[in-house]
Amino acid sequence: MEDCIFCKIIEGEIPSHKVYEDENVIAFLDTNPTSKGHTLVVPKEHVENIHEASGMDYIWDPIVKVSNAVKDAFNPEGININQNNGEVAGQEVMHMHFHVTPRYTGDEIEIEYNREELENGDEVAEKISEKID
């Protein structure tokens, strides 16, 4: 995909700090890490977001492998795996990717969710489940 920075990394047109690669997946360090070891796991096929990612189950093992490697390398107390879809969700690079973000006590990462009590759970669950094939 032209003008996609991650496609260019995959093609070797621009450099990255690669930590893992297989036939379908590449993982490299985030250039603006939120914590030490922050790594991105990226399918080589250009898809924009999760809605186009059906069948890409091969991405899961590399996520686990990278998470284990980051844990062994830096011994974080925890790890966040996150994946943003759409600008409103914080997606900046429109080539789907998973963040493996090690978490350390005292790190200054803030993830805030305004949680409310679930209302109309039956109706909401049904609306979703009827859309699943």
Residue type, 114: N
For residue 32, the partner it binds in Zn ion, ligand AMP, none, with Cβ less than 5 to 8 A by kind, is: ligand AMP
CB of 34 to ligand AMP, least distance (A): 7
The answer to whether the CB of 70 falls within 8 A of the CB of 39 is yes
Task: For residue 1, state whether it binds Zn ion (rule: CB under 5 A).
Answer: yes
- The residues pairing with 43 across neighbouring beta strands, listed in sequence order, are 25
Residue nearest to Zn ion (CB): 4
Q: Which of 43, 62, 95, 102 binds Zn ion (CB under 5 A)?
A: 95
The answer to whether 8 contacts Zn ion (rule: CB under 5 A) is no
Distance set, CA 77 to CA 30, 105, 112, 121 (Å): 20, 7, 19, 34
Least distance to Zn ion from the beta carbon of 6, Å?
A: 5
Q: Clarify whether 46 is annotated catalytic.
A: no
CB of 41 within 8 A of CB of 100? yes
CB of 50 to ligand AMP, least distance (A): 12
Q: What is the CA radius of gyration of the chain?
A: 17
Q: How far apart are CA 67 and CA 108, in angstroms?
A: 20
Q: Decide: is 12 part of the binding site for ligand AMP (CB under 6 A).
A: no
Nearer to Zn ion, 4 or 29 (CB): 4
Partners of 18 in the β-ladder:
28
Binding site for ligand AMP (CB under 6 A): 5, 16, 28, 30-32, 40, 84, 90-93
